[in-house]
């Protein structure tokens, strides 16, 4: 997809952070955008603060954990704009914790948002793209945490690795239908992601607040991270180039190389143990 003017996009997590930046970048290029977010008040405020030039904007309060809510938001998008060309499955949260100490309901919470929210977006909007036959684009927000890991963040890694693998399969499956796919894998971006763990079920019920050495480290990295507006511009360029992966940080590239080398080393050792010549 080369030209965004006159196209229609659906963006989740659009009230702030990367979602809001994507909305601004798309609107500036003449794309009409349905902004979706679970936070209705901030959603209205964010939409009202956008400039009047470019594409049109509408809003839909949407909890991506609910397939019915995503479907309702899709129906509203089609009713207002006629069709949908791009879906940005961007809403996400973070969850830290040690093995054996993370409540099952918190696991379910992060899986429902970070993974199933993406799945619901794909299952809802891809059929709508097929209907109009003009092609389309699926843009899923994962993370560098979908490629490399750090201790204490297993739930986040689990969901982001899943989104990367899911997106890789989708790209192969949808390419024949002129529907492109990209997966966003940034390192540190100036958003509120480090505080979203306060919304997990156990915290809402009075659990332990975020804090500690890991939290303070991540907080500092996020607050000094990449501007969401700069990231959004990269995202649109990546769509135009039909890139599979969207990366941001040269310093973490070595981590991918190290993971590849570790996989290759164990692969080689296992084949040798099986007596298979390589």
Please give the positions annotated as active site. Answer: 156
CA distance linking residue 158 with residue 122, whole number of Å = 19
Half-sphere exposure of 132 (CA within 13 A, CB side): 17
Residues with Cβ within 8 Å of residue 127, at least 6 apart in sequence: none
Strand order in the sheet with 57-61: 57-61, 32-37, 8-12, 86-89, 136-141, 179-184, 245-246
CA–CA distance, 189 with 226 (Å, rounded to integer): 4
CB 64 within 8 A of CB 40: no
Q: What is the Cα 157 distance to its own chain's centre?
A: 13
Number of other residues whose CB lies within 10 A of the CB of residue 168: 14
């Amino acid at each position: 997809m080369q030209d965004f003017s006159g196209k229609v996009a659906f963006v989740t997590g659009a009230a702030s952070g990367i979602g809001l930046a994507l909305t601004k970048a798309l609107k500036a290029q003449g794309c009409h955008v349905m902004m979706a977010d679970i936070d209705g008040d901030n959603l209205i405020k964010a939409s009202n603060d956008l400039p009047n030039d470019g594409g049109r904007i509408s809003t839909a309060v949407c909890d991506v954990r609910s397939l019915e809510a995503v479907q309702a938001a899709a129906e509203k998008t089609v009713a207002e704009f006629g069709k949908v060309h791009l879906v940005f499955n961007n809403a996400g949260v973070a969850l830290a914790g040690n093995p054996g100490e993370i409540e099952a309901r918190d696991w379910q919470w992060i899986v429902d948002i970070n993974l199933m929210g993406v799945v619901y977006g794909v299952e809802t909007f891809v059929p709508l793209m097929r209907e109009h036959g003009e092609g389309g684009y699926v843009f899923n927000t994962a993370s560098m945490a979908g490629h490399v890991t750090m201790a204490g963040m297993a739930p986040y890694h689990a969901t982001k690795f899943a989104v990367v693998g899911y997106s890789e399969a989708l790209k192969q499956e949808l390419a024949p239908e002129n529907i492109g796919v990209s997966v966003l894998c940034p390192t540190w971006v100036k958003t509120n992601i480090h505080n979203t763990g306060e919304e997990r079920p156990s915290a809402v019920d009075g659990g332990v607040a975020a804090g500690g050495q890991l939290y303070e480290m991540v907080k500092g990295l996020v607050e000094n991270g990449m501007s969401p507006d700069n990231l959004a511009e990269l995202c649109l360029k990546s769509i135009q180039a039909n890139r599979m992966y969207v990366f941001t940080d040269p310093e973490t590239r070595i981590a991918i190389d190290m993971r590849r080398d570790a996989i290759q080393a164990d692969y080689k050792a296992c084949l040798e143990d099986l007596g298979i010549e390589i």
